Each structure stands twice: as C-alpha cells, then as structure tokens.
Amino acid sequence: MSLEAILTQLLMGLTVGVNLVLVATGLTLVFGMMGVINFAHSALFMLGAYAGLVAATHLGSFWLGLVIAPPVIGLLGAGMERWLLRPLRERYPLSHLLPLLLTFGLSLFFEGSAKVIWGADIVSLGKPALLGGAVSLGRITFPTYWLFALVAAAVLAAAVWLVVERTSLGLSIRAATQDPMMAAVLGVNTQRLNTIVFALGSGLAAAAGVILGTMTSLSPQMGAGIVLDAFIAIVIGGLGSFTGAIVGSLLLGQVQSFGVALLPAFHTPLIFLVMAVVLVLRPSGLFGSTDRR
Amino acid sequence: MTRVPAILIAAALILAPLGVGRFYSAYYLNLLTWILIFALFAAALDLALGYGGLVSFGHAGFFGIGAYGAALALRHVSFSLWAALAVGIAAAALLGVVVGYFAVHSRGVYMAMLTFAFAQLLYEVAIKWVAVTGGSDGLPGVGRPRVSLGPLALDLSDKRHMYWLVLAFVGLGFALARQIVASPFGHALIAVRESEERARAIGIDVTRHRRVALVFSGALAGLAGALFAVFQNFVSPELLFFALSGEVVVIALLGGLGTLYGSLVGAVIAIGLREVLSTYTDNWLVFLGALYVVCVMCFPQGLTRLFARAV
C-alpha cells in the first residue's frame, strides 16, 4: 500500500471508529450500571435515523433532523427504562435474562413498527449540498460527508467524554458503573441516574443513526450490523468500561477499514477473530474489571 | 410432569398424523414437526444453560453445523439418513469440544459473547465458502433418503412419515437429555451451576464438567439441526445466524430453564404464535415483539421459575 492509501484507510477507520463510540457508549454504560445487554439498542439507532428523516423531510433541513432526532429517541429510551426496565429490576433484581428477553421483544416490536410505518424498502436521507463531493487534505482526497461524519461524531464523543470524566454527574455515572450498590449507599440517586444514562445512550445511538444513515441508507434492519460491531467493541474494551468502549471502538474501526482493504473476503471473520483472541487472553476484555458478572 | 398427562401428550403426539385430512390440514402437521425439532434444540440449550449455567448465545452454531453436516454427508458421503445424522451430530459435538476448550473459562455475558463469536464465524464461513456451502443461497435439494428398519419402510416425502421419524428422534433426544440430567454427572453439573467454589471443594472437576456438558448440548443441538436439514430439504446460512441463537434462548426461557420439557411448551408458544400471527397479518413482528414484552412484564415467574438461581 502506498502512503496515501494507508492514510485514507486510517481516516476511514477513524470515521467508523468515532461513530462506533457513539453507539457503544450507551451499550456499555447501561451494562455497567444495570447489568443489562440492551438488545433494543439497534432499534434505537434505526429509529433515530428515521426520526431524522421525518424531521428533515417535514422541516426541509438535514441539520434540523440531526438536532431533533437525538432528544426524541433519548426520551423514548428514558421511557423504556422508567416504565419497563425499572419495574422489572425492582421485582427481579437478580435476573439478567429477563431484561434481555424484554429488550429482545422491544427490538422486534420497534423493527416491526418501522416496517409498518415506513415500509421494508431501503430509503435514503439526502445530504445537504454543502457536504457533497470531496475535499483534498494534503496528499489525499476524502469524501466531504465522511469528513463531516468524522468531525461531528468526534465532537459529540468528546462532549460525552467531558461529561463522564469532568462533571459531578459523570462522577456519579462512573461510580455507579463500578459498583451500583456502593454508589447508592453513598447517596447517589441511582434510579434517576439509570434513566439519565439510558436516555443519553439512546440519544447518542440516534445521532449515529442519522449520521451513518445519511452516509449509506435507511432500512428497518439497518441497526443490526453496526450494533453488532459496537457490541464486539465493548466486549474487546471490557463491558461496562467507558474508556474500554472508546479504545475498542477505535481499534475495531481500524481493523474493519484495513480488513476491507487488505483481506476483502475475510474482514468480518477477522473482527470475530480479534474479539476471540482478546477474550481468550483477557477474559474480561482490555479494561474490564475482574468482577465476573 | 406427572405420569398421566405425559402419557396422554405422548399418545396425542404419536397419533397426530392420523387426523390429517379429517380434522386439520397437512400444514399443521408440518408446523408440529417444526415445533418438535425446535423443542429438541431448546432442550439442548437448556442442558447447557439451565442445568450447567453455561450462558451460550451461539447455539445456532451447533444447530447449523449439524444441518450442514447432514446435508453435505447426503451429498458427498452416502445417501443414507444414518450417515446424515451421524455426520451432523459428530460435527456439532466436535464444535462443542472446540468451543468448550476456549469458552468455559469465561462467565456470564463474556461466555455469551465468545460462543456468539464462534457461531458468527461459522455463519461467515457458510456465506464465503461458496464451493462447499453454496454461499448465501445455501444448499437446496438436500434430498430425502429412503429409510427402512426391518419391515418398516418410511417414505420421507410423505409428511406423516417425516413427522414420525422426527418424533422418534426428538423423543430419543429428550430421553437422552433426561438420562444425562438424572445421572451422577448431571447432579454434579447442577452443583457446579449452584456454586463453583463448593463444587470444587467437594472434588468436582468444574472445567471438565462444563466442557462435557457443552459437548452433550452441542451434539443434541446438532441432531436437531440434522433433522431440520432433512425435514426442510434445504440448508442456508440463516441456520447459523445469531437471530436463531436468540430465538432458541427465548424458547428455552419461555418454557422455563432447567426443566427440559419446558422447551416443548416454549416451542409451541413461540413458533406456533409466530406462524399463526404471520398467516393473519403481515405485521406479525410487531405483535410478537409486544407479546414478548407483555410476557416478561406480566408473568415472568410462571414462565421461568428457576430464574434467579439459574443465571
């Protein structure tokens, strides 16, 4: 590979990676705090993209779609947590499988609803003219929209990082992901925090849905692939770890990008291979605690 | 399960094909065949998940490799049902050995992800290795070999004969699973599930028990897959896809973990409802999803009695 080709693949991998961070954040924080693998996360990603599409078509602006979709889906996520997951957790605090079944059912419900409302066919969300074409960055040219996707997701991810690492809310979140019981004992309102984190994760997934949906296309099953990747990223990084989600996502973005370029036929098995190797060497992932949930 | 209802259910299952054409169409017999195969598949998962506490989210891997093994054996080895079943079971058991080697040291969600990764790898292989697996088109026309057992000859293109064959093997599978659970090995396995430390303290080899359980579970799931290949006369990568792994977990959970027979109940509910819904409405996914949610929220206890302890 030439230097230009390597740089291009690096940038593409980074674009995929930062968007994966947005999707993975919700998954990993929800798991850390509630011990729940949220199967409906892919549906929230998908609904985010469609919410963006609806807003953009009715209001005539891609940007409004991008701004409106995350809070709408965030509210939906908050509702899911408050009225479904919380009652379930209060009644069966020890079960990790009931929430799994619940979110599995919700994902089917949302996917089915999307098919009813918007049809099963692929649709596309038009990108603004400003973001068409390509830009040249020194020795390489890069699609403008990809650059936008990279920057927008990176800005959002950085904002989330600041919130999690530098605010008192973030301190509570980090405490609650490490040890929910101890955090509650120390006076953190973990119930409210669960709802906030669920809303935050859902909103971020929706933002990624609009950004990536515009890059490719929209369909009711569009979330499956990316959320699978996000899952693998957080497993590699260590479930429940925010840092792990970032590192895992960025790593996976590069594995994907170079995998597609160098081993086109085998890039998907390559991803699973990376995950299997990490898990065999470090059963709790790179940044996972040794606590076996 | 008490004895009398069990005998009644068994009798009803054996006699079910006689009602075709009189009380219901062959379509329902086909549906029942499908349900039986998935009940065996879910019971296989229950052996690992409900009894062994092994959280597998990759059981489609065992089912799919059993199906592909059977289909490829019919094509390339010998056009005989026995060869098909033997190869399917052996392939799945071998996968159980490999997965067990890597996965039994991890726990909970991590084990779920590792087993999931293996199944997904196989899915990719089935899609990419077109020369052998037919790629994403799968292998149509697997073929239905003639079966003769002494004076008894089965013509598997006859839906009733196919049903009886499947029923016989599913019954055999359930009996085997029950034997395993009731054996000293089964009791030790339950001890491992309940508390690894205590099991280890009384001299149980935890790792070996978990590995062997996964091989048994895999082999039974492989049998289900091999039966499915012959029944459908078709295999495709869908049989290895993670959605199927999720579906079988749902079936086992609905029926109740650690019961074996619960799998039959779970399969009737999950597959029966999906089938009924899909004939009445195109939007069945919405209803099925809503139904899962309602089941979990309103009567989880009735569906899954061993829950808090099992995982």
Q: What secondary structure, in 3-state letters, does chain B show?
A: CCHHHHHHHHHHHHHHHHHECCCECHHHHHHHHHHHHHHHHHHHHHHHHHHCCCCCCCHHHHHHHHHHHHHHHHHHHCCCHHHHHHHHHHHHHHHHHHHHHHHCCCCHHHHHHHHHHHHHHHHHHHHHCHHHHCHHHCEECCCCCCEEECCEEECCCCHHHHHHHHHHHHHHHHHHHHHHHHCHHHHHHHHHHHCHHHHHHCCCCHHHHHHHHHHHHHHHHHHHHHHHHHHHCEECHHHHCHHHHHHHHHHHHHHCCCCCCHHHHHHHHHHHHHHHHHHHCCCHHHHHHHHHHHHHHHCHHHHCCCHHHHC
Residue B79 lies in a domain: yes
Which residues from B are below 8 Å from A228, CB to CB? 242
Q: Which tokens sit at B101?
A: 């080697």
- Asked whether the beta carbons of residue A106 and residue B293 sit closer than 8 angstroms, the reply is yes
Which residues from B are below 8 Å from A276, CB to CB? 102, 114, 117-118, 121
Residue B219 lies in a domain: yes
The per-residue pLDDT for B2 is 58
Asked if residue B303 lies in contact with residue B253, where contact means CB atoms within 8 angstroms, the answer is yes
Interface test with B, best of A108, A256, A280 (most B CBs within 10 A): A108
| Minimum CA–CA partner of B121 in chain A | A269
User: Which of A72-81, A201-210, B94-103 shows the lowest mean pLDDT across its residues?
Assistant: B94-103
Give B80 to chain A, closest Cα distance, Å.
33
Give B218 to chain A, closest Cα distance, Å.
19
Give B310 to chain A, closest Cα distance, Å.
9
A205 part of contact set with chain B, CB < 8 Å: no
Residue B254 lies in a domain: no
Which residues from A are below 8 Å from B296, CB to CB? 88, 98, 101-102, 105
Give A292's pLDDT tier (boundaries 50, 70, 90): very low
A95 part of contact set with chain B, CB < 8 Å: yes
Which residues from A are below 8 Å from B293, CB to CB? 84, 102, 105-106, 109
Give A284 to chain B, closest Cα distance, Å.
7
Nearest to A101 among B108, B250, B283 (CB): B250
CB pairs A-B closer than 8 Å? 131
Q: Which tokens sit at A199?
A: 């809303």
- Asked whether the beta carbons of residue B307 and residue A92 sit closer than 8 angstroms, the reply is yes
Q: Can you list the residues of chain B whose pLDDT is less than 70?
A: 1-3, 299-311
Residue range A89-108, pLDDT digits in tens: 888 877 767 787 789 889 98
pTM for the whole thing?
0.81
Nearest to B308 among A94, A228, A293 (CB): A94
What does the domain layout of chain A look like in residue ranges?
3-281
Q: Which tokens sit at A23?
A: 């999707």
- Structural domain including B169 reads 25-241
Nearest to B113 among A87, A108, A279 (CB): A279
Which residues from A are below 8 Å from B292, CB to CB? 101-102, 104-106, 108-109
Fold of A3-281: ABC transporter involved in vitamin B12 uptake, BtuC (1.10.3470)
The per-residue pLDDT for A65 is 93
| Minimum CA–CA partner of B117 in chain A | A272
- Asked whether the beta carbons of residue A109 and residue B286 sit closer than 8 angstroms, the reply is yes
Give A290's pLDDT tier (boundaries 50, 70, 90): low
ipTM of the complex: 0.83
Which residues from B are below 8 Å from A88, CB to CB? 296-297, 300
The per-residue pLDDT for B180 is 94
Give A32's pLDDT tier (boundaries 50, 70, 90): confident
The per-residue pLDDT for B309 is 43
Q: Which tokens sit at B134?
A: 């037919």
A63 part of contact set with chain B, CB < 8 Å: no
The per-residue pLDDT for A67 is 95
Q: Could you give the number of structural domains in chain B?
A: 1
Give A53 to chain B, closest Cα distance, Å.
21
Interface test with B, best of A27, A34, A89, A109 (most B CBs within 10 A): A109
Closest Cα partner for B158 from B144, B169, B168? Answer: B144
Is the model's pLDDT at A174 over the cut of 60? yes
- Asked whether the beta carbons of residue A112 and residue B285 sit closer than 8 angstroms, the reply is yes
Instruction: Report the Cα–Cα distance between both ends of chain B, in Å, rounded.
Output: 23
Interface test with A, best of B49, B109, B128 (most A CBs within 10 A): B109
**Cβ burial A249-261 (10 Å sphere, 16+ → b, else e):** bbbbbbbbbbbbb
Give A151 to chain B, closest Cα distance, Å.
31
Residue range A211-230, pLDDT digits in tens: 999 998 999 989 888 888 89
The per-residue pLDDT for A210 is 96
Is the model's pLDDT at A159 over the cut of 80? yes
